[in-house]
Structure 1
Amino acid sequence: MYEKGFMRLVKMNVNSLMPLLVVVICNVCYHLASKNMSNTANPFIGLVATYGVACLIGIITFLITSKSNLIMEISSINISNILLGLLVVGIEGGYIIMYRLGWEISKGSLISNICVAILLIIAGSLFFKEVFTIQKAIGVVICIIGIFLMNK
């Protein structure tokens, strides 16, 4: 069973691994930057600056990479895009506040991501008909044990 999963990973080409690499590198840098934000500034004004930069980079990247009309693309935005904007403020604000309250960067990120992963396994099973296997159940138990061990 392990060999099959490992071989599937090995067969993945560089193009399919590149987004994972980008996510991992950006996520590490994200947490390092979040942990080092000014303690005197309101975290939400910091997010305004953060998303101002993100908006500018997004528009520039769109203009460089797209052949479509900006107005046409804006018309294809749906409620999920708006919801993501709301949720991202909660995620990032939550991390900033966690770090300001003294959470260790290694524990805060890991514990929150383990909790998210466990909840996504449940959501995947309930809403997307993803199969909940014994291996996933064992993984969840090991993750929960890991959370307790990290806090000892």
Structure 2
Amino acid sequence: MNNLNYLYIMPILLVILSNVFYHTFSKNTPSDVNPFLALIATYGVALVSSILLFFLTKKESLIMEMSKMNLSNFLLGLAVLGVEGGYLLMYRNGWEISKGSLIANMCVSVIMLFVGWLLYKEGLSMKKLAGIAICIVGMFIINTK
């Protein structure tokens, strides 16, 4: 496998593996602990790990790196809080791990096709529209008893 393939495939494998662990650990977070205290512990580990990884991978000074950031970096924190808090609350309120993450991710995928088309001028082909239809049908099939 050449470097381009490795650099292309490894991030998606990291996302997939991390998501599997993410949902497993979210589902197993004790239901009697305040979900936001649980997220404080989660973010504490993420903060310490990110600091270590920053210093292991930095190319420029902290000030120079910080000057490159924009509002999106901070708004992403709110989005992550919504995702993580939402999943914790979703699982606590009875969602099955096999259905909840699948339905949420299908909905996100459908919405992101339109976001990509409207904001980033990505193509919206008949193949993508067919995929949306299949996702919607799949959500109905999954939820029928």
TM-score by length of 2: 0.94
Aligned to 2:134: 142
Aligned to 1:29: 21
Aligned-pair CA distance for 1:49: 1.0
1:1-152 matches, cutoff 5 A? 13-152=5-144
Aligned-pair CA distance for 1:14: 2.1
Percent identical among aligned pairs is 51
Q: Which runs of 5+ in 1 are unaligned?
A: 1-11
2 CA distance for matches of 1:67 and 1:61?
A: 12
Which residue identity is paired with 1:134? M
Which residue identity is paired with 2:108? V
TM-score by length of 1: 0.90
1 CA distance for matches of 2:62 and 2:47?
A: 14
Aligned to 1:7: none
2 CA distance for matches of 1:72 and 1:58?
A: 17
Aligned-pair CA distance for 1:65: 1.3
SS for the counterpart of 2:123 is coil
